Each structure stands twice: as C-alpha cells, then as structure tokens.
Structure 1
Amino acid sequence: MGKINILIVEDNPADVLLIKEYLSENKHIRQDLAEAETLESALGLLSHYNFDAVLLDLRLPDSSGLDTVRKIITPYPDTAVIVLSGLQDEELALQAVRFGAQDFLEKQHLSPASLSKSLLYSIERKKAMQEKEDLLHDLTLALKKIESLEGILPICLSCKKILTENNQWQRIEEYIRDHSEARTVNMICPDCKNDLEESY
C-alpha cells in the first residue's frame, strides 16, 4: 500500500500524541496526518482534502455519540471511519458499525499493532465495498438499457403501424393516445414536403 492520508479527530491533546506515537512505530506504512479538535473543523478538512481514513473520537466539543459518526459518514461515504472511544460499550460499537464505521477501538485497549491493523483492514474493506457498489451501479444501468431495448416496439416499414402487446397492428396516433397522455399533432417534415412538391 502507498501513502495513506489519515485525519485524527480528537480534542484531547494527550490522546492525539499517543495515536501519533503509535502510528509512527509502523515503519511499513507511509502516512500523512492531519488533526481536528471539533466536528466542524473535521468537516472543513474533509471538504478540501481526500482522506483514506478518519480516526474519530465519539465525544467532541460540538458533537457526541453516534450523531458524530453519521455527520462524517453521510457526506463522505468513501472514507473509512474508525471510531475511537473511552467507553466500554459493545452496543455503541455495533451501532457505530451499523452507521457505516469500519471499526471500533477502545482507547484503553489501543496499541500500535491494533491501530495499524485496524487502519489497513478498514481501508481495504472500504475499497472493496466501493468497488462492489460501483459494479452494482454499472449492472443497474445495464439492466435499464436492456429493459429499454426490450421496450422497443415493432413498426411496419410500409404503413408505420405499431404491433401492440396484444399482437394487433395499431396506428401510431391511436397507440400514443391509448398508452400515454401525450397528444399528436399532424405535421409534414421537410423531406416529405420536398417529396410532395416534386411529385406535383
């Protein structure tokens, strides 16, 4: 993996120093680190820079709990969010993951190895999820194109009537009247006008 961009969202300076120290112990991962003490400043950084991962404290001066997770993940769904908390609360951890967080780490159990492992796995999981979503999006578009092709109506080359789903030939004006709210207006296109003029 190349260099990874990490945003640390934490208002406790001691915790920030500890996280940075743990990250620096992994010499195999090149990192660019940015810091934010509030949710507002974190959202400001996210709007201007691309981050691979966000290490997010659940208790910030301007936001707390799962609402903090939601406000990060909703506008930036491509970024892997790892929740950091001093709370020993498994239910909160599960809820954070349900909201879209890739992992949940308790600060008191944090170590250089667990932090690095969580970062690498979370980023890779997020990439895999995004690839699946992109593939599903492409598949949905392809299915819509197939449906539109299946909806093409056979038209007689001679009289221009349409073969309906009841296997009946119907004039185009009648078909449009029966199947939509659109109105038909009788006009003559330039080509037909020229043909008519030449025939006289």
Structure 2
Amino acid sequence: MNNIAILLVEGRPEERMLIRKYLSPPPPVHFDLREAETLKEGLSLLARDHFDVILLDLELPDSSGLDTARRVITKFRETPVIVLSNPEDEALAQQAVSYGTEDYIEKNFLSSALLLKSIRYAMERKKIIQEKYDVLSDLILALEKIDSLESLLPICIGCKKIYHEDNRWVDLEEYVRQSSNIKTTRATCPDCQRSIGKNFYVTR
C-alpha cells in the first residue's frame, strides 16, 4: 500500500509538527495525514472518514491514560492504533498494547524509518488478527448450523442414520443424494485406512 491514511491525535503542536516532518518520506510511499488536538476531535474524524492507522498520544487535553486507548479501540476496532509515549509513560504504553493497540513508540526515539516500520507492522498485525477473527466467526457459524441441523433431523445415536420423511432410516450419503443435487464420492480417510490396515494384518 503506497497511499496510507493516518490520523494523528496529539495535543502538543510541536509534537505534531515533528511527526508531520517524519511522515514526509520520498516516493513511492505517501501519507495522507490528518491531525486532531483532542480525543473528541479525533473520534469525530474517525466517525466521518476512513483511516488506515491511528497515531495516538495517551495524554490529551480531554483524556488521559488507558482510558484514551480504550475509548478509541472500543469504537474503532478495525483500525490499528500506535501509541506515542513519553519515556516516563513506557509502562502505560505497554499496558495499552496488552489492552489491544498494535504497537507503541517512545517519542524520544522517533524517526522516519521507525515510524514507517511501526505503521507497516501495525497494519499487517491488524490484518492477521482480523483474518483469524473472520475464520473463527465462520467456524462458530458453521457449528451453529450443525447444531441446528441436528436439532431438526432425527439422527440415530448408534449408526448415525437419518430418519427420512418417507418413514425410512437412511445413511447420510443417501439422504444428501435424495435431498439435494449435490453429488457425493466415496473415499477412505487416513484414520480408516490405518484401521483397515491393522485389521488386515491381525486377521491374516
């Protein structure tokens, strides 16, 4: 991604000017930087526009400490957050990462290279976390559908056959074939293959 939209939430004008300078890298990277002096202003911008990354100072005129990070993360979970911390606030910044922000940078170590590296890392980390969350959500949905299916279809607890609407007990393959246009194929899973192999050698 060569065009990155960034929201900087920082109360100190001199800090904003410095970060603005650091976020002026040579092509092909381009940062579309927006600035907010207070958390209220930052939340308002986030509600209106899309941002790829949030650079967040925890000590703002209208909010301080972990509550600053909490209020941003709670409302805008999809956007990665990088905490900008003072040296004396490093422990607080680490707590913010544990709470859900992607990274933190001490202001006295700021540089163009470090900012770019942290921004790319934060975006990639958020992407991976979101993908895992999506997979988990799909799995939960699939399990819910299976539970729903089991509650609707009478299934024998012994042989696992399904009671068909024409008053017959049929195996799953036959039920699927009769109830849909899905074609099934026969195969042997690895566990059954091992079981068949063991039984073969035992009976010989």
- TM class by shorter chain equals 0.7 to 0.9
- Tell whether the 8 Å contact from 1:80 to 1:123 is kept in structure 2 after alignment: yes
Larger Rg: 1
Name the CA distance, whole Å, in 2 between partners of 1:117 and 1:26.
15
Amino acid of the structure 2 residue aligned with 1:59: E
- Tell whether the 8 Å contact from 2:90 to 2:106 is kept in structure 1 after alignment: no
2:11 corresponds in structure 1 to: 11
Amino acid of the structure 2 residue aligned with 1:98: S
Residue 118 (str. 1) matches residue 110 (str. 2): no
- Tell whether the 8 Å contact from 1:22 to 1:115 is kept in structure 2 after alignment: yes
Name the CA distance, whole Å, in 1 between partners of 2:139 and 2:2.
30
- Tell whether the 8 Å contact from 1:26 to 1:116 is kept in structure 2 after alignment: no
- Tell whether the 8 Å contact from 2:4 to 2:32 is kept in structure 1 after alignment: yes
Name the CA distance, whole Å, in 1 between partners of 2:166 and 2:37.
71
After TM superposition, the structure 1 = structure 2 runs for residues 85-104 of structure 1, keeping only pairs within 5 Å, are 85-104=85-104
Aligned Cα root-mean-square deviation (Å): 1.9
Name the CA distance, whole Å, in 2 between partners of 1:69 and 1:101.
7
- Tell whether the 8 Å contact from 2:54 to 2:79 is kept in structure 1 after alignment: yes
1:40 corresponds in structure 2 to: 40
**Partner SS state of residue 23, structure 2:** helix
Query: Which residues of structure 1 form unaligned runs of 5+?
Result: 159-200
Per-residue CA distance 1:112-167 (angstroms, 9 max, x = gap):
11111000110111011111111110111011111222222247646xxxxxxxxx
Amino acid of the structure 2 residue aligned with 1:19: I
TM-score (norm 1): 0.75
After TM superposition, the structure 1 = structure 2 runs for residues 132-143 of structure 1, keeping only pairs within 5 Å, are 132-143=132-143
- The Cα of 1:26 is off from its aligned counterpart by 4.5
- The Cα of 1:51 is off from its aligned counterpart by 0.7
- The Cα of 1:6 is off from its aligned counterpart by 0.2
TM-score (norm 2): 0.73
**Partner SS state of residue 77, structure 1:** coil
Per-residue CA distance 1:55-86 (angstroms, 9 max, x = gap):
00111110011100000010100001000011
- The Cα of 1:97 is off from its aligned counterpart by 0.5
- The Cα of 1:2 is off from its aligned counterpart by 3.3
**Partner SS state of residue 148, structure 1:** helix
Amino acid of the structure 1 residue aligned with 2:96: A
1:21 corresponds in structure 2 to: 21
2:82 corresponds in structure 1 to: 82
**Partner SS state of residue 141, structure 1:** helix
Per-residue CA distance 1:4-51 (angstroms, 9 max, x = gap):
110000111111111011110353322211110000010000001111
**Partner SS state of residue 24, structure 1:** coil
- Tell whether the 8 Å contact from 2:102 to 2:126 is kept in structure 1 after alignment: yes
- Tell whether the 8 Å contact from 2:10 to 2:35 is kept in structure 1 after alignment: yes
